[in-house]
Amino acid sequence: MRLTNKIVEDISKPFGFDLVGFAKFTELNEEVEHLSEWLQNKSNSGMSYMERNLEKRKDVRLILPDAKNIISLGMNYYTEYQHSNDENFGKVSRYAWGKDYHLIIWEKLDQLVKKLKEIDPAFEAKTYVDTGPVMDKAWAVRSGIGWIGKHSNVINREMGSWFFIATVITNYEFAASAKVADFCGSCSACIDACPTNAIVQDFVVDANKCISYLTIENKGEIDKSLSGKFENWIFGCDICQDVCPWNKKFSTETMETKFHPKEGNKEIALATVENMSEELFKEKFAESPILRTKLKGLKRNAEFLRIQKNESSS
Ligand code: SF4
Ligand code: SF4
């Protein structure tokens, strides 16, 4: 049987994909041009992997030669829990409170593709979740899932920006979804709230200054000039998304309970990190995105917050 947009939507939703959009294949010339500019400005900081595979990012036919359509999927991860402001604890970004989203979404994508292939064995797909040389945000915009906010995350009109994006490159023809307009308008709440001025211009985040990058992917030390500006974030940073009116108004609880905070993963006691062994780190954060920063990174972040706390109390 021939697959249709509706069949894909109907099968995707029970897997927990709240958003589904379709885009015709095209080369991402404009998006790669912007990415190249960002790279030339060294805004990727230590993320050298962003410099690789620009050709594949531009032309997904280098991944799936018969690519005709891209399906973008969004999975809500918002829960009603909020951070504590106890300065003895470091705050963890929302996306990392529960089980690692890669593990959850990879499994669901495999099942989804299997189901679609059962309906039409001619359906072929390559799937990605935030890894690999695929411009997931660009495809989400082209698929009509949302627009890129000034903080550089994709925003959906009915859901805000607390969702993960998965990308399915297919050899199949689907009708393209309508693109949505940019509804940031004259708002600049995210730019104004960013404590390190990392949003250097609308839609452009300089990773060298972004707490999210500095506490997760960064392998080096954190620049002392940023001391006092981390607002107690130990892993990631949600400030620009917390202040966004689209999140304040439209965030709704996720259907996926595995994104709910695991005990002790919403905030982490700084004293616990300072004395943490490798064994405890691996046990406590098993299947959590927090593993990504490694124990060394988490200790560096805790130490940075501790110095910041001491400086402010002296
Ligand atoms: S994540 Fe935090 S540091 Fe990075 S741009 Fe947003 S508010 Fe600024
Ligand atoms: S805070 Fe305002 S400017 Fe920033 S992404 Fe949200 S709507 Fe756009």
**Do 156 and 241 fall into the same domain?**
no
Residue nearest to atom 5 of ligand 2 (CA): 149
Query: Tokens 């929302």 belong to which residue?
Result: 94
Determine the distance separating the centroid of ligand 2 and the alpha carbon of 243, expressed in angstroms.
8
Cβ neighbours of 313 (radius 10 Å): 7
Residue 183 lies in a domain: no
What pLDDT, on a 0 to 100 scale, did the predictor assign at position 314? 66
User: What mean pLDDT do residues 53-62 have?
Assistant: 97
Residue nearest to atom 6 of ligand 2 (CA): 244
**Do 196 and 298 fall into the same domain?**
yes
For residue 15, give the DSSP letter: G
Determine the distance separating the centroid of ligand 1 and the alpha carbon of 10, expressed in angstroms.
35
Which of 59, 110, 120, 130 does the annotation list as catalytic? 130
Residue 178 pLDDT > 70: yes
Residue 86 lies in a domain: no
**Do 13 and 73 fall into the same domain?**
yes
Residue 307 pLDDT > 90: no
Residue 43 lies in a domain: yes
Distances (CA, A) of 16 to 11, 33, 87, 138: 10, 33, 35, 22
Residue 313 pLDDT > 90: no
Model confidence pLDDT, tens digit, residues 117-143: 999 999 999 999 998 999 999 999 999
Residue 30 lies in a domain: yes
Query: Tokens 């989804």 belong to which residue?
Result: 112
Q: Which residues of 81-109 are buried (b: 16+ CB within 10 A; e: fewer)?
A: eebeeebebbbbbbbbbbbbbeebbbebb
**Do 131 and 274 fall into the same domain?**
no
What pLDDT, on a 0 to 100 scale, did the predictor assign at position 252? 95
Mean pLDDT score across all residues of the chain: 96
C-alpha angle with apex 239: 72 to 33, nearest 5 degrees?
45
Residues 6+ apart with CB under 8 A from 166: 17, 72, 73, 74, 75, 105, 109, 127, 128, 129, 136
**If we measure between CA atoms, which residue out of 130, 97, 141, 85 comes closest to residue 254?**
97
Residue 99 pLDDT > 80: yes
**Do 305 and 222 fall into the same domain?**
yes
**Do 149 and 247 fall into the same domain?**
no
Give, to the nearest 10 degrees, the angle between helix 101-119 and helix 5-12: 140
**Do 10 and 152 fall into the same domain?**
yes
Residues 6+ apart with CB under 8 A from 288: 96, 98, 99, 100, 262, 265
CA 191 to ligand 2: nearest atom: 4
**Do 69 and 200 fall into the same domain?**
no
User: What mean pLDDT do residues 43-55 have?
Assistant: 95
What pLDDT, on a 0 to 100 scale, did the predictor assign at position 114? 98
Residue 33 pLDDT > 80: yes
Ligand 1 pocket residues where CB is under 6 Å:
151, 194, 196, 198-199, 205, 210-212, 237, 239-240
Residue 88 lies in a domain: no
> Whole domain around residue 286: which residue ranges?
189-313
Rounded Cα distance, 195 and 239, in Å:
8
User: What mean pLDDT do residues 98-118 have?
Assistant: 97
User: What mean pLDDT do residues 87-114 have?
Assistant: 97
What pLDDT, on a 0 to 100 scale, did the predictor assign at position 310? 77
Determine the distance separating the centroid of ligand 2 and the alpha carbon of 263, expressed in angstroms.
31
Percent of the chain with pLDDT over 90: 96
Residue nearest to atom 4 of ligand 2 (CA): 190
User: What mean pLDDT do residues 33-49 have?
Assistant: 96
CA 183 to ligand 2: nearest atom: 7
Rounded Cα distance, 76 and 165, in Å:
9
Determine the distance separating the centroid of ligand 1 and the alpha carbon of 161, expressed in angstroms.
14
Query: Do β-strands 89-92 and 233-235 pair in parallel, antiparallel, or remain unpaired?
Result: parallel
**Do 155 and 193 fall into the same domain?**
no
What pLDDT, on a 0 to 100 scale, did the predictor assign at position 309? 75
Please state the domain count of the chain: 2
Residue 175 lies in a domain: no
Structure tokens at 164: 């993960």
Determine the distance separating the centroid of ligand 1 and the alpha carbon of 115, expressed in angstroms.
39
Residue 5 pLDDT > 70: yes
Residue nearest to atom 7 of ligand 2 (CA): 184
Is there a catalytic annotation at residue 130? yes
User: What mean pLDDT do residues 224-232 have?
Assistant: 94
**If we measure between CA atoms, which residue out of 116, 92, 102, 115 comes closest to residue 174?**
116
Residue 117 lies in a domain: yes
Residues 6+ apart with CB under 8 A from 121: none
Q: Which ligand is nearest to the CA of 193?
A: 1
Ligand 2 pocket residues where CB is under 6 Å:
149-151, 184, 187-190, 243-246
